[in-house]
Amino acid sequence: MNHQDWLSGQLKNDAFAAQYLTQAAQDLEPAVFTAALRHVIDARGGLARVADAGKLSRQSLYKAFPVTGQGNPTAKTMFAALRASGLQLTFKAA
For 20-79, write each residue's pLDDT tens digit.
999 999 998 988 999 999 999 999 999 999 889 888 888 888 899 888 778 899 998 999
Looking at residue 26, its amino acid is: Q
**Secondary structure letter of residue 88 according to DSSP:** -
Mean pLDDT in residue range 4-19: 95
Closest by CA to 86, choosing from 19, 13, 6, 34, is 13
Task: Indicate the pTM of the whole model.
Answer: 0.88
- Check: CB of residue 52 under 8 Å from CB of residue 68: no
**Distance (Å, rounded) from C-alpha 23 to C-alpha 45?**
22
Mean pLDDT in residue range 80-94: 88
For the chain, the farthest-separated pair of C-alpha atoms sits apart, in whole angstroms, at 38
pLDDT at 9: 96
- Give residue limits of the domains in the chain: 3-84
Looking at residue 71, its amino acid is: G
Q: How far is CA 86 from the centre of its chain?
A: 10
